[in-house]
Structure 1
Amino acid sequence: MNRQPVLLPYADPAFVADPFPFYRQLREDGPVRRAVIAGGLEAWLVTRYEDGLAALSDPRLSSDVREASDPRLLQQLPATERESMLRNMLRADPPEHTRLRRLVSRAFTARKVAELRPRVQEITDRLLDAIAPAGAADLVEDFALPLPVTVISELLGVPTADRHDFQRWTDDMILRGTQPPDPAVVNEAWQHMRSYLTELLEAKRARPQEDLLSALITARDEEQRLDEDELIAMAFLLLVAGYITTVNLIGGGIAALLAHPDQLRMLQDDPALLPDAIEEFLRYDGPVNPGIARFAREDVTIGGVTVPRGATVLIASAIADRDPARFPDPDRLDITRRDNAHLAFGHGLHYCLGAPLARLEGQVAIGTTLRRLPDLALAVPPGELRWRPGGLRGPEHLPVTFTPTAPRRPAASP
């Protein structure tokens, strides 16, 4: 495996808009391929489904970036707060991961999430009430973004009015395209975020409420089950992960339907297909792209290729989820697809904790949009949509038109 690494061409608008022909060629070239990915980093891409499924449960592949030999990975984290940012369950291995995940897992069980459905529906309807009379909207900015932000903010106990601030700081810390983030910008954003979370947690210490952050403070102060850095890292992870991929699931799912009128009509005619449709959106063009990073603790053989210790291994779920050896006719959007065990939420110990909530929000958001915005159509040709360039995938904006309708209730901000 001495070939030069292939460059994922994030500077090419055609690739950003539709990376899947390029991905298909990578998968056909071999099961594991060295590549230069977002931020100019080098990784070993695992491109086939069975290999990816096995790799996600392989204890030789760590979630801890400190196992990586490339120093640039740590350098992309805030210089003064690297240890704090690393102390969350996304980057931890057992037993730390097990301990941290157990603290919050009960809030995201299928039963607990199902109890949130009426509130998710209420927020959805209020957002659509503000859109429906206009006949046109940006369904990302006006709907797909504020919906999951509001839901996770209420669940955690974060003031929804603060969302524009923490969204801006998050955007400044996200890796995009070919260029690494500016360290000065990342540092400043994290300092703002940490100060904000510290003040919020202190306020909740003084006035506890029935929310998840208050429960975590109890676990920190009274039960000593995590320390202060872990508390802040957990708050940060839950807040950001609680909305950033769901925005893309909702926006990307609606965009996929509008680009496939036959599937749109099928779903409008039979709303019972909605749960299967959400799974297909996740498989066909999911919000994590190209995949999930791990770091080799030792030399590991994957698909007959030896990956050296310290290497970054990118389990390319976006490529594997179109593997024809696992999914018949994989490049076709099919909302009736069965046996759809995609890797968009990962697999194994790190399977996405928020998957039930993301599925619920996707079902309510997309189903209600199709019901309440008649004659929904893109306001621009599909080729003019701008997509996020790397790491996370979804339309940056989704301009649409529809037949205006009266709101169900007076428009109000959730």
Structure 2
Amino acid sequence: MTTTRDPVTSAEQCTAEFRRNPHPVYASLRDTAPVCPMTPPHGVETYLITRYEDARAALSDSRLSKDMYGAMDAYRRIFGDSSVSLDDNMLNADAPKHTRLRKLVNSEFTPRRVEALRTSIQDIVDQLLDACPTREPVDLLPTFAFPLPITVICELLGVPTEERADMHRLSTTVAQTGFSKESKQAQQKAEEDLHAYFTRLIARKREHPGEDLLSALTVVQDNDGGLTENELVSTAFLLMFAGHKTTAYLIGNAVHHLLVNPAQLRAVQEDPELVGRAVEELLRYDGSVESATFRYAAEDVEIGGTNIPKGALVQISLLSANRDPRKFESPDVLDVTRQGAQNAHLGFGHGSHYCLGAPLARLETQLALTSLFSRFPRVAPADPAAEAKWMEVPFPAFRGLAELPVVLDPER
């Protein structure tokens, strides 16, 4: 049966109420219009997928292309010309280009290689917590959740310490830009600045290589089958951008939901072995990636009984899929003991575009939660009666808090 109505608009998805709690809307869509057309602010026809099985199938359907050059007109209408130079990377490519680009960096993100970073990541966690005030309110987003992954990914890439603040500022501008003329101008300037920065940094790495990923990729570039200059710049941007925003919001969401679910927090504190399961459950329950990235129908595609016409954009809601009761028992309940087949979430996507940095994000989040709640077992919201403030976004991509005020060691 083909759905023709428009049950939710992108404008509705940007309201404060929806950002606070989008789950009732997604639940209604799963029941009434699981694959439905919607009208985002950018004006390009888009179809929203909300059920788990449909989402999982769509994530690995080769007819839903990731190649931005195949939908260049739509891409430019949404993101502007300046984005193209930063998006010539594996995230926006189909096989065989995607396969080639991913293979060149995949070895740096295997579970074994990531595990070797445990000690250095733990040191960063400890340093950040050392610097936090303990008896007065502190916002854990700018002091802990954001500095941790940006420090880790910058060290992996070989970004000098004194240049990291500008990287964070520019990437934030790219991520949080809306569709107004002023926003698009700010986005374009930030993208141009990032492209210029990475071009300069790569030139320095070529001249003076170090023991970092970006230096290694410049060597690979000179070999047959390596990256072009623009692919190298775009890959550096992708690793930096994807390597810290999503993990930062995940850590923030995780801390928040454990604080407001004290029984689940106690379970993790009493049995530290549960932290791995807890992270998986928090990825399912309220992960930091609300929707999978840009796809478009390279041909007519039928999903969930709905025909998606050739050329239409497709938005796959991971947040909705991960709360689908057709897949998960009691999906609206946070249960840190879920495991295995009980929690086959899509928090990191599925298929060939499954998140390359998943092992690193898992380790960073596990160490962050373990250290925070063991070192400060009485940590509490700064104002227990206050509602959580969620980030406003131009269209649902990230899901994250705007602030996370807590008292780490409240006086009894």
TM-score range, shorter chain: over 0.9
Q: Name the residue aligned to 1:411.
A: none
Matched, 1:374 2:377: yes
Equivalent positions of 1:119-130 (< 5 A) are 119-130=120-131
Aligned letter for 1:399? P
Equivalent positions of 1:149-168 (< 5 A) are 149-168=150-169
Q: SS where residue 34 of structure 1 aligns?
A: strand
Q: Name the residue aligned to 2:269.
A: 268
| Cα offset, 1:65, TM superposition | 2.8
Q: Name the residue aligned to 1:148.
A: 149
CA contact (8 A) 1:11 1:177 kept: no
Give distance in 1, aligned partners of 2:273 and 2:378.
Answer: 20
Given the superposition, is the C-alpha separation of residues 300 and 124 from structure 1 closer, same or farther in structure 2, using an over 3 Å criterion? same
CA contact (8 A) 2:178 2:184 kept: no
Matched, 1:240 2:241: yes
Given the superposition, is the C-alpha separation of residues 120 and 190 from structure 1 closer, same or farther in structure 2, using an over 3 Å criterion? same
Q: Name the residue aligned to 2:314.
A: 313
Matched, 1:6 2:12: no
Matched, 1:350 2:353: yes
Instruction: Write the deviation string for residues 243-274 of structure 1: whole angstroms up to 9, x where unpaired.
Output: 01000110000001111111111111111110
| Cα offset, 1:83, TM superposition | 3.9
Give distance in 2, aligned partners of 1:260 and 1:180.
Answer: 42
Equivalent positions of 1:326-341 (< 5 A) are 326-338=327-339, 339-341=342-344
| Cα offset, 1:19, TM superposition | 0.7
CA contact (8 A) 1:385 1:395 kept: yes
Give distance in 1, aligned partners of 2:259 and 2:363.
Answer: 21
Give distance in 1, aligned partners of 2:254 and 2:222.
Answer: 42
Given the superposition, is the C-alpha separation of residues 209 and 279 from structure 1 closer, same or farther in structure 2, using an over 3 Å criterion? same
Give distance in 2, aligned partners of 1:181 and 1:233.
Answer: 24
Give distance in 1, aligned partners of 2:83 and 2:144.
Answer: 33
Instruction: Write the deviation string for residues 53-93 of structure 1: whole angstroms up to 9, x where unpaired.
Output: 11111111111233348x453234352x4442231000000
Q: Name the residue aligned to 2:198.
A: 197
Equivalent positions of 1:159-198 (< 5 A) are 159-175=160-176, 182-198=183-199
CA contact (8 A) 1:152 1:239 kept: yes
CA contact (8 A) 1:40 1:180 kept: no
Instruction: Write the deviation string for residues 353-388 of structure 1: whole angstroms up to 9, x where unpaired.
Output: 000000000000011000111311111346532212
Give distance in 1, aligned partners of 2:365 and 2:215.
Answer: 27
CA contact (8 A) 2:134 2:407 kept: no
CA contact (8 A) 1:252 1:395 kept: yes
Q: Name the residue aligned to 1:29.
A: 32
Deviates more, 1:87-96 or 1:168-177: 168-177
Given the superposition, is the C-alpha separation of residues 112 and 40 from structure 1 closer, same or farther in structure 2, using an over 3 Å criterion? same
Give distance in 1, aligned partners of 2:281 and 2:48.
Answer: 23
Give distance in 2, aligned partners of 1:303 and 1:181.
Answer: 39
Give distance in 2, aligned partners of 1:247 and 1:42.
Answer: 31
Give distance in 1, aligned partners of 2:51 and 2:380.
Answer: 35
Give distance in 1, aligned partners of 2:372 and 2:217.
Answer: 35
Give distance in 1, aligned partners of 2:375 and 2:328.
Answer: 33
Give distance in 2, aligned partners of 1:293 and 1:282.
Answer: 20
Matched, 1:399 2:405: yes
Q: Name the residue aligned to 2:69.
A: 66
Matched, 1:385 2:354: no
Q: SS where residue 282 of structure 1 aligns?
A: helix
| Cα offset, 1:135, TM superposition | 4.2
The unaligned stretches of length 5 or more in structure 1 are: 406-414
Residue identity (%): 46
Given the superposition, is the C-alpha separation of residues 72 and 383 from structure 1 closer, same or farther in structure 2, using an over 3 Å criterion? farther
Given the superposition, is the C-alpha separation of residues 221 and 178 from structure 1 closer, same or farther in structure 2, using an over 3 Å criterion? closer
Give distance in 2, aligned partners of 1:68 and 1:235.
Answer: 23
CA contact (8 A) 1:132 1:373 kept: no
Q: How high is the TM-score relative to the length of structure 2?
A: 0.93
Give distance in 2, aligned partners of 1:395 and 1:382.
Answer: 16
CA contact (8 A) 2:83 2:191 kept: no
Aligned letter for 1:298? E
The count of aligned residue pairs is 403
Q: SS where residue 90 of structure 2 aligns?
A: coil
Deviates more, 1:196-205 or 1:30-39: 30-39
Give distance in 1, aligned partners of 2:318 and 2:41.
Answer: 15
Give distance in 2, aligned partners of 1:394 and 1:195.
Answer: 29
Aligned letter for 1:343? L
Give distance in 2, aligned partners of 1:39 and 1:142.
Answer: 34
Q: SS where residue 33 of structure 1 aligns?
A: strand
Deviates more, 1:30-39 or 1:204-213: 30-39
Q: Name the residue aligned to 1:15.
A: 18
Matched, 1:87 2:88: yes
Given the superposition, is the C-alpha separation of residues 154 and 110 from structure 1 closer, same or farther in structure 2, using an over 3 Å criterion? same
Aligned letter for 2:378? D
CA contact (8 A) 1:62 1:295 kept: yes
Deviates more, 1:326-335 or 1:220-229: 220-229
| Cα offset, 1:395, TM superposition | 0.8
Matched, 1:46 2:52: no
Aligned-pair RMSD on alpha carbons? 2.0
CA contact (8 A) 1:323 1:330 kept: yes
Q: SS where residue 92 of structure 2 aligns?
A: coil
Q: SS where residue 155 of structure 2 aligns?
A: helix
Given the superposition, is the C-alpha separation of residues 52 and 180 from structure 1 closer, same or farther in structure 2, using an over 3 Å criterion? farther
CA contact (8 A) 1:40 1:178 kept: no
Q: SS where residue 242 of structure 1 aligns?
A: helix
Q: SS where residue 4 of structure 1 aligns?
A: coil
The unaligned stretches of length 5 or more in structure 2 are: none
Matched, 1:227 2:228: yes
